[in-house]
Structure 1
Amino acid sequence: MLHPDQKPLRLASVKGMNDILPEQAALWAHFEDAAQTTLRAYGYQRIRTPIVEHTSLFARSIGAATDIVEKEMYCFTDALNGEQLSLRPENTAAIVRAAIEHHLLYDGPKRLWYSGPMFRHERPQRGRYRQFHQLGVEALGFAGPDVDAEIILAGQRLWDCLQLQGLRLELNTLGQLDERAAHRAALADYLKRHIELLDEDAKRRLETNPLRILDTKNPALQDIMRGAPRLMDFLGEASRAHFEALRRILQANGISFTLNPRLVRGLDYYNLTVFEWVTDRLGAQGSVAGGGRYDRLIEQLGGKPAPACGWALGVERILELLKENDPGARPEPHCDAYVLHQGEAARTQAFAVSERLRAAGLSVVQHCSGDGAPVRFKTQMKHADASGAQYAVIIGEDEVNSGTVTIKALRRAADALEGNAAQRRIAVECLSRDLFEKGG
């Protein structure tokens, strides 16, 4: 109980960390079902990793000079043992850590997928939050361009499943480490000759990671970037062959893409293939998904050398696009039957009816009063209709005395559940009316 001088504590969520309310959860479930179905079709298995990892995992894998590590990670010291820990800002490093720790590649390559919350301290904007959700795939132990193509095809199949339009695939190759080092030196020399035209962010990156300057969003730097040395000109024969093979597979499967020589991605661990799906419908932050190949990361984190590639998508951004596609179309929560009752005997029987229907595989909501007082059938029917139920199952004094229930359809036939609507209707009617005879 509050002290007379105390005021009630009113708390709001942390900025950029949002609640997902029941009316929003249906759209999330729609997306998650489509993703799970799609990835199962490609033989990917789900993996779940902790939200908290050692800070050194991300500093080592992502790159100490990246914006994520320098500015955006939520880091803290464990008060019990002094360990430096972080909320995960992305999940590829954690998947690789898990694969090494549990020897997942001991019996061969693995196809994995994950979903869950990530955390970055950045300015919240549309579809981009401090706690955000990613879904991604990681193909570990595969060296050839065929698996690069496979994960891109899986992404395209997911867009088709969700009926998402207007996503453009941008493609590039970063080559191998020595090729990228030669390009980086040439790029740094070029940018230093134009240093008076660079903004402060570009000048900082010139000393740490000049490749990131290539994808600057500053309009004033676009002309300079167009004249910069191209990484493609520094590639060796093997890197070119890998990229050309990938392009041929995508073209043979009808996947449209744009070559973007300035696409570098924001993480240090990428090599060879990199790609993004982008849109013009979410403002300046147009990337909704992206990834590439990271053949050195497993070795870098202490494992036996093995190639790998993957991608991740921002769930909130995809949901924004889904809502834009058809603002009126929302997968609504529903149940098959809503059980109404009045009187003590009817309430007891309502529990039996509800449990038998659930055991038959139906979704059932049983009316419960807020304060324990009796509620008129008229009021209960309003709740039943609002629930989205297909049928109202009514139990009153007459039904208790006659050993029956009354069933009322709440939806037109066109609104009935798809596929097995007739089967469910029969189950509701037969099971319900037979309950008393069977002692249910």
Structure 2
Amino acid sequence: MRHLLCVVLSASAGSAIAQPIAYTPTLREVLQAVNQSTEVRIARQAQTGAEADVLTADHAPLPVLSSKLSQIDLQNGLGAGDWIGRKRIDKGVGLDWTYERGDKRALRTNAAQRTVAATAAEAQEAVLQQMLTAQAAYYDWLAARERVQLVVSLAEAGREAVRAAQTRLKAGDLSQQDTSRIEIDAARVAADKQSAQLDLSRAVLALSKVLNRADIAAIPAGNIAWPELPNTAAPAAPSTEIGNASAAAAINARADVRAARERINAAKFTLDGAYALQKTDPTIGISFDHYPGTSTRLIELRVQIPLTWGYSYQGEKARAQSDLRQAELTEERVLRDARAELARLYEEADSLTQRTTAFETDIVPRAAQVASQAEFAYRRGALSLIDLLDARRILRTTQLEVLVARTDLAKARTALLLRTAPELLVR
């Protein structure tokens, strides 16, 4: 008995290993997975590089240590004695350091710090863009699974209709032409099943790419659980005063807008740094000389000043001004695109809500009622087969259309939440 129990348990364990449980992700898991995407990691490496630029910018010019041998008399010779202490060679060790004026160090450091802030915001924008792509792939996967379920049930109903038609044909109660029509309609539904399964395979591959996993559930089992999005107050219309204020706050909080503004700040500091180049930086130096026969303790002090004759850094200033103007134009474009996107998201969410509600509360119930009445009338001989097939096709079409409408609405609402209140989805 114990041996039999061990065999059963071993077989069960082997079966479990051979058939691993497919992974069914949630919306939150999909959104969190984008943090490991290649695009996000590239953006974060750009931020790391910008942080390194701050270290590069925030230091003074390094001192320069120099040594020399001079006063080497080739005509009269160097004299007797050792090379270090007695030969007539002027040996010197010097130190030179450039003194920066015009707050150059502070300006370039501030520019680098603003660039860090810009790249950090750009990394956040990269995360959000990947979330928008990921949520679309997630809802496409859910919709594809539900469509397969729907089409499979329709295909089964079509096969039942074909079997019933063939039975009636053998009994002489149905013509060969009507039987062929029913078979053709069932074959069309079976073809739709193949198309739905192909769409599901594509959706699984797309979601697997987002999650970097190969065990995404494909075959639907039971009811498909769609995520419940947070219930938030409906946003005010952008045309109202309150709507404009809320839209402006949402736009100002966007990562791409903040990045564009930080780029402007960095360009301004760079421009100030270009003008600061007009203040020359002297190089101050000191040397200690050892010259046997003259003196073994000589001190040299020196100052070097660059002469900017005929050039006042016009190129650097023009380049910095051009970069600032480009940053300002970029901010203008980003703001324009942000306003347009926000208005589009509001409009899509409102329009798709109305469309989905119309399908769920009116169109689909009426199509189902018409199909049910057509089935009843056809069985009583009060309706032609063509009208029955037409009623069935209308019901199938509306059932698929409501699925598309529900998917589009979920995408639109999630995208709007990601743009206006992402903390409600990812905490």
TM-score normalised by L of structure 1: 0.17
Of structures 1 and 2, the one scoring higher in RCO (CA 8 A, sep 6+) is 2
Higher strand share: 1
Higher helix share: 2
TM-score normalised by L of structure 2: 0.18
Question: Which of the pair has more CA radius of gyration?
Answer: 2
